[in-house]
Chain A
Amino acid sequence: MNATVIPPFARTYRYDAIDREFLAERIAEFRGQVARRLAGDLTEDEFKPLRLMNGLYLQLHAYMLRVAIPYGVLNAPQLRQLAMIARRWDRGFGHFTTRQNIQFNWTKLEDVPEMLEALAEVDMHAIQTSGNCIRNVTTDEYAGASPDEVVDPRVYAEILRQWSTLHPEFTWLPRKFKFAITGSPSDRVASLVHDIGVAAKRNAEGEVGFEIHVGGGLGRTPLIGRRLYDFVPEAEFLGRMEAILRVYNALGERDNIYKARIKILVRDLGEEFRALVDAEYDRMPQQAYRLDPEIVAAIAAHFAPPPFARLEDRPLPQDPAFAAWARASVRPHKQPGYASVTISLKPIGGIPGDASASQMEAVADLAERHSFGEIRVSHVQNLVLPHVRQEDLHALWQGLAAHGLATPNIGLISDIIACPGMDYCALATARSIPVAQRISERFADLDRQHDIGECFINISGCINACGHHHVAHIGILGVDKRGEEVYQVTLGGSATNDAAIGELIGPAFGYDDIVDAIETIIRTHIAHRAPGERFVDTYRRIGAAPFKEALYAVA
C-alpha cells in the first residue's frame, strides 16, 4: 500500500489498487530481467529492449533513468521522492526535459529496481519513456489555472495516458510517438510539431471537441503538422486516435529509421492519409471506442478546481527586486486573487532544467505552503506553481530566492532550452549545455534582457532536436565537423500558434565563436527593430539579409 500522504487538493491522478498491483508486478518482472542480465543469462542485445521499455538508457558516462511525469503534473510528495532518488542513487540532482519528464544521469543498473520501487511508492514509473511506443503526453503547464483556458487538457491527457499505456497494438510502432494537448486557444505546448497535436475546444453549443493536427515533428526532417480534423466530438476522440495510430502502424516505414516517424507518412500520402484514417475509423467497432461521458466525468473529478478562497486581485508590492521577478515569473490566473508562478531552472551560468535534490525539496515545501501541494513541469524545462495567492507572492519569492530559484528571466534570452548534448547523451554530436551557460552569462544583465524582450533560444546537440532548435526564435544545432564541434544557427522559428521552422542563416560557427554570433544577431535586431517588436517579429519583417550581412561580412 502507498502510505504517502498526498496533499488533498493536489490534482494529480490517483492510482487505484489495480494500478499499484500492476506496477508491483512490472517491477518484479524487471528485477528478474536485471538479475538475469547480470548473471549472463540475457545478452545485451536481448536485454536492451527490456531496459528501454523501463526508461533505462545507457549514455556516455553511465545509465540514465528517464522517469515519466504524466503531462508534467506532480504533487509535493512525488517531487520530494524524486529528490530522495536523486540523493540516494544519483549525484544529487535531476534534469527536467522538454517532454516534461525527469532524467537521472548517473544511474547504476543494479539500483534500478529499487529506484522503480521508490517511484511506485508515489504512483510514478518509467514505463514508455523510451522505445517505439506512445511517450509521455505533454500539456499546458498552466492547465486549470490559465484565464484563456477553454477545456482542461489534463482530463484528456489522462485519458490518452490510460488508453496508450501498454496498448497491445502500439507497443512496437515504427518509431516513437508523441502527443501534445492544449485546452487554450494560445498554443503553449508546441502542438504543431508533435506527431499528434490536439487542441481541445468547444463548439457553439458548448460541447467539447478536438482539433487534430498530425505529422508534425522536428529532428532530421522538421515539419509542421497538418490539420486532419477541425472538430472531433468528445465521444469519438479515442476512436479517431486509434484509427490514426492503426494507419501509421500498418503503413509507417520500418526499414529506414530516418523515415519512420508518422510525419514522413503524412507528408508522402498527403490527403490520402485522411482518407485512410477515415476508412479505418469507419470499419472499426466504433461503439467499443466511444468515450463514455461517465468516464470523462470520473477522470475530470481528479482535476476538480482546488478550494480557492474568495479573493480580490490586488496590487503587488513595489520592492524593485521582487517586482523584477514578478514581471517575468508571475502570470494571471482564472481565479481572482490568485496567480501562477513559473520557477526558472535557468540560473545565469547554470544548466538548463537541472534541479538539485535540495531545490526539489524546497519547491515541494513551497508548493504545499502556497499552491495546494501541486507542481508542474513545463516543456521549456522550468517548474510552475499553478495556484498561488497573490498575497503570498512576496513570501514565495523570498522562499525561492533562498534556494537559487528566483532568477527573473522567464521568456527572456537566458531562458534557454538545451538538451543534455554530448556532455551526457550517447547520440549527441556536440555539447549543448556549456553553450547555453555561456550565452546566459553573456546576457546576464537583466535590464539588457528586458530591453531585448521575448526571445527564445533553443539548443540541440544533434539533429534529433531534443532541444527543439528548429522552433526557436534563435535555434542552435551542434554538429561534428571533422572532429570539431560547430554550431549551425537558424532564425525565425516558432513553437506557438504561428509555428514555423527556423531558417538556416549560413555556415556554422565554432564553439569559441557561437556566443559572439548570438551577440551579433541580437545587436542586429536591436538596430533594426520597430518599437515593441520582438526578435522574431523583426526577423520576419526584415528577413535574413541584415543578419547574414552582420554575421558573415568580411571585415
Chain B
Amino acid sequence: MSSKAKSRPATSPVVFSGNGLRDGRVAWMGTEGRWEPRLGAVTPFAPEAAAEGLALAQQGERQQRVVGVYAVELGADGLPLKFRERLRLGGPSIDAEAA
C-alpha cells in the first residue's frame, strides 16, 4: 500500500490527509468520508475511531482519488498539531513569483 498511516494510536481527534491523484493538491477527509480541499469542511474522528477512519481513507486510495493517506492529529484549536501539516493546510508560507 502507498498509505503512510502509522500504527501509533491517536490520542487526539484525527482527520486523514493525502494528495489528490490527478492534481496532487492537499485533500482532507473526516467522518463524512468525502475528500475536501479545506480542513474546515470535514469532521474529525474521535481518537478511538481512528482505525475505522483509516480504512475509509484507504478506500479513497483504492478509488484513485488520493495518494499516500495518513492520519493527522488535531489540537484543541481544531488545527493540526504538527507544523508540517499546518503548512500543508495553508500552502507555502512564502509568496511565490506571480506571472
A interface with B by C-beta (< 8 Å): 37-40, 43-45, 48, 58-63, 86-87, 91-93, 105, 107-110, 351, 354-359, 422-424, 431, 433-434, 437, 480, 483-485
B interface with A by C-beta (< 8 Å): 1-2, 19, 21-26, 61, 63-64, 67-68, 81-84, 87-88, 91-94, 96-99
What's the least CB distance linking A39 to chain B, in Å?
8
Contacts A93-B96, A351-B94 given: A483-B83 contact, CB under 8 Å?
A: yes
Once the chains bind, are A423 and B24 in contact (CB under 8 Å)?
no
What's the least CB distance linking A80 to chain B, in Å?
14
Once the chains bind, are A40 and B64 in contact (CB under 8 Å)?
yes
Once the chains bind, are B93 and A91 in contact (CB under 8 Å)?
no
What are 23 of the A-B contact pairs (CB < 8 Å)?
Answer: A40-B63, A44-B2, A44-B67, A45-B1, A58-B67, A60-B87, A61-B24, A61-B88, A62-B19, A62-B24, A87-B99, A93-B96, A93-B97, A93-B98, A108-B22, A108-B24, A351-B94, A356-B97, A357-B99, A424-B92, A431-B87, A433-B92, A485-B83
What's the least CB distance linking B83 to chain A, in Å?
6
Cα(A354)–Cα(B97), bound, Å? 7
What's the least CB distance linking A195 to chain B, in Å?
29
Q: Residue B87 contacts which of A40, A109, A423 (CB distance < 8 angstroms)?
A: A423
Cα(A109)–Cα(B19), bound, Å? 11
What's the least CB distance linking B89 to chain A, in Å?
10
Contacts A93-B97, A483-B82 given: A61-B2 contact, CB under 8 Å?
A: no
For A351, the chain B residues whose CB sits under 8 A away are 94, 96-97
What's the least CB distance linking B91 to chain A, in Å?
6
15 extra A-B contacts, CB within 8 A, seeds A44-B61, A59-B24, A91-B99? A37-B64, A44-B21, A45-B1, A58-B24, A60-B87, A61-B92, A62-B19, A62-B23, A62-B25, A91-B96, A351-B97, A358-B99, A431-B87, A431-B93, A437-B94
Contacts A37-B21, A423-B93 given: A60-B26 contact, CB under 8 Å?
A: yes
Cα(A105)–Cα(B87), bound, Å? 15
| Residue among B19, B63, B97 with the highest chain A CB neighbour number at 10 A | B97
Instruction: Output the nearest chain B residue to A41 by Cβ-Cβ distance.
Output: B64
| Residue among A107, A108, A359 with the highest chain B CB neighbour number at 10 A | A108
Cα(A437)–Cα(B97), bound, Å? 13
Cα(A437)–Cα(B93), bound, Å? 12
Cα(A86)–Cα(B68), bound, Å? 26
| Residue among B25, B67, B99 with the highest chain A CB neighbour number at 10 A | B99
For A357, the chain B residues whose CB sits under 8 A away are 99
Instruction: Output the nearest chain B residue to A60 by Cβ-Cβ distance.
Output: B88
What's the least CB distance linking A187 to chain B, in Å?
32
For B25, the chain A residues whose CB sits under 8 A away are 61-62
Once the chains bind, are B87 and A38 in contact (CB under 8 Å)?
no
For B24, the chain A residues whose CB sits under 8 A away are 58-59, 61-63, 107-109
Instruction: Output the nearest chain A residue to B92 by Cβ-Cβ distance.
Output: A423
Cα(A408)–Cα(B21), bound, Å? 43
Once the chains bind, are B22 and A38 in contact (CB under 8 Å)?
yes
Cα(A93)–Cα(B19), bound, Å? 22
Nearest first, the 5 A-B pairs at minimum CB distance are A92-B99, A44-B2, A63-B24, A423-B92, A93-B97
Once the chains bind, are B2 and A43 in contact (CB under 8 Å)?
yes
Cα(A86)–Cα(B98), bound, Å? 11
Cα(A527)–Cα(B24), bound, Å? 50
For A431, the chain B residues whose CB sits under 8 A away are 87, 93
Instruction: Output the nearest chain B residue to A358 by Cβ-Cβ distance.
Output: B99
What's the least CB distance linking A423 to chain B, in Å?
4
For A105, the chain B residues whose CB sits under 8 A away are 96
Instruction: Output the nearest chain A residue to B82 by Cβ-Cβ distance.
Output: A483
For A359, the chain B residues whose CB sits under 8 A away are 97
For A437, the chain B residues whose CB sits under 8 A away are 94
What's the least CB distance linking A45 to chain B, in Å?
5
What's the least CB distance linking A515 to chain B, in Å?
15
What's the least CB distance linking B69 to chain A, in Å?
10
For B81, the chain A residues whose CB sits under 8 A away are 483
For A354, the chain B residues whose CB sits under 8 A away are 96-97
